[in-house]
Structure 1
Amino acid sequence: MTQPEPHDIRIRKLFRKTRFGIFVLFGAIVFSTSTLSIRTVSSQLSEEYESNSANIAKNIADSSVDILLNRNLATLQSLIDQFVEIQSIRYIYITSDTGEILAHTFVPGVPAVIRESDPFATEPVERSLSGMGDFVEVGSPILAGVAGTVHVGMDLDVVRLKIQRATGQQIYLICIILIVGILGSIWFVKLAVTPLEDLLAYVVGLARRDGDEATEAKILARDDEIGEMARLMLHATGGETRHGAVSDPGSGAD
């Protein structure tokens, strides 16, 4: 079998599993970090928007007591129209103590899903309204429910967009770290591979008695494990090179 030329020696298989392990490790780090980041940001933003919607519902409930007592529905409608201009708030409606819808912001009319729902519910509930989208609705009682209930619908599409923007920036940074980490690890592996390639080239040259003088001198002068192995192999072949002799395999500089 034809022996390879010393300058053609390459370490291709030895660190193949190492490189693969690096890719898997960094991939697992990115996946787990991204998943945790998305869940955390999603949970925090959703809770924040629900809390804001609940506060708005409470403010409307507190502000509409006198209006409801005076049965001034025009003023009540004007009041809720102002709050709909707030970002993420898509609809508001107010029900009486009997469940009747007194005022709302739906155009052209109240969806059937809303009419069929519990008019006194105050706990957050997810709704999907045809032609409008997905929402989280929160409620707040007026005078402990005696005067009615205020319902506020928060647009989930706006919340999702905020979550995507917030997590997108974090994932972008994580991906940069991933690329830099992989390139850095490949560079460090290359630092380990290069001396082994020199050693392999030296061994081939030693076996053929036609090794490169510069490579031979370089490898034998090393004071690490590579140099020790080269001197040991030289000693095993008789302790002689084409350019002289090496008396002891451990005679390299410490």
Structure 2
Amino acid sequence: MAKLLQKTLMGEIFLFAVIAATTSVVSGWNLHKHLTEEFKTKGIAIVNSIANSSVEILLNRDASTLQSIIDQFFDIKGVAYVYIIDEHGEIIAHTFVPAIPEEILKHTYETGVQLEDILINDLTIAEQGEFIDICAPILAGIAGYVHVGMDKGIIADHRNSAIGNQISVVLVIFLISVFIAHIRVNQISQPLNQLTEYAQKLAANNFNAQVKIQSQDEIGLLA
């Protein structure tokens, strides 16, 4: 019985491992792709909103109002940072605390101030994580540019949580199937063990031995 149960369990473990790995990879990738596109769409909407509302404020050099605007968008879930540069490439408002990271300064310099359309880049900031940097011009770049960073860490957290939940469901199904398999193997192995003992007694010339198997299946007919 032990060998039969072991073979059955090994087969189930292999099958469920393949199912869990395949579904986790496929669903995880699809979710990651979907959330990334969703974050990009949200980020584009935010930069366009800021760009459209900041033209007059930028032209008037109203720094306090400009800071108030970007602080409001900074509270939106998924937004990691917001900053605005003028037409000369100088950062005039931002949400970084306590200081602007070097990676942002370098990225701003490399991006330049010649953009006339939305630009999307992946950006890594040391000790903070990975971000989707979305840049949009204000008044075709004449009044400056808006940068919004969407936190890719949130995407990873959602993806990992979904994969974990899926694996948990598969694990529960696996444990239930193991329990059922154990019962079925016992039902099959008990009459087989009786037949084996009966055959051994016959081989030992014990012709008075009897076997008590009441089932009507092939094992019962064999008995």
1:149 equivalent in structure 2: 145
C-alpha distance in structure 2 between counterparts of 1:131 and 1:224, whole Å? 67
1:8 equivalent in structure 2: none
8 Å CA contact 2:4–2:185 kept in 1: the answer is: no
Residues 1:90 and 2:105 are matched in the alignment: no
C-alpha distance in structure 2 between counterparts of 1:32 and 1:42, whole Å? 15
Deviation string, structure 1 residues 60-119 (Cα, Å, up to 9, x no partner): 111112212322222111111111122221211112233222221223332222222214
The alpha carbon displacement at 1:152 in A equals 0.5
2:200 equivalent in structure 1: 204
The alpha carbon displacement at 1:50 in A equals 2.4
C-alpha distance in structure 2 between counterparts of 1:24 and 1:178, whole Å? 11
C-alpha distance in structure 1 between counterparts of 2:24 and 2:112, whole Å? 40
1:25 equivalent in structure 2: 15
Distance 1:191 1:105, change over 3 A: same
8 Å CA contact 1:204–1:211 kept in 2: the answer is: no
2:176 equivalent in structure 1: 180
RMSD of aligned C-alpha atoms? Answer: 2.4
Distance 1:105 1:225, change over 3 A: same
Larger Rg: 1
Report the residue type matching 2:149 in the other structure.
G
**Larger relative contact order, structure 1 or 2 (CA cutoff 8 Å, min sep 6):** 2
C-alpha distance in structure 1 between counterparts of 2:187 and 2:140, whole Å? 73
* Local SS of the residue matching 1:174: helix
C-alpha distance in structure 2 between counterparts of 1:35 and 1:186, whole Å? 30
Report the residue type matching 1:227 in the other structure.
G
Identity over aligned residues, as a percent? 38
Report the residue type matching 2:148 in the other structure.
V
C-alpha distance in structure 2 between counterparts of 1:69 and 1:224, whole Å? 90
2:67 equivalent in structure 1: 77
Report the residue type matching 2:219 in the other structure.
I
1:57 equivalent in structure 2: 47
* Local SS of the residue matching 1:169: helix
1:48 equivalent in structure 2: 38
Between the two proteins, the alignment pairs up a number of residues equal to 215
**What is the TM-score with the length of structure 1 in the denominator?**
0.74
The alpha carbon displacement at 1:155 in A equals 2.2
The alpha carbon displacement at 1:210 in A equals 4.1
Distance 1:13 1:167, change over 3 A: closer
Deviates more, 1:142-151 or 1:55-64: 142-151
Deviation string, structure 1 residues 132-176 (Cα, Å, up to 9, x no partner): 333221122223333322100122333322333333222221211
Report the residue type matching 2:209 in the other structure.
G
8 Å CA contact 1:119–1:149 kept in 2: the answer is: no
Q: Which runs of 5+ in 1 are unaligned?
A: 1-10, 231-254
C-alpha distance in structure 1 between counterparts of 2:166 and 2:65, whole Å? 45
Report the residue type matching 1:184 in the other structure.
I
8 Å CA contact 1:41–1:167 kept in 2: the answer is: no
8 Å CA contact 1:140–1:150 kept in 2: the answer is: yes
Q: Which runs of 5+ in 2 are unaligned?
A: none
Deviates more, 1:32-41 or 1:112-121: 112-121
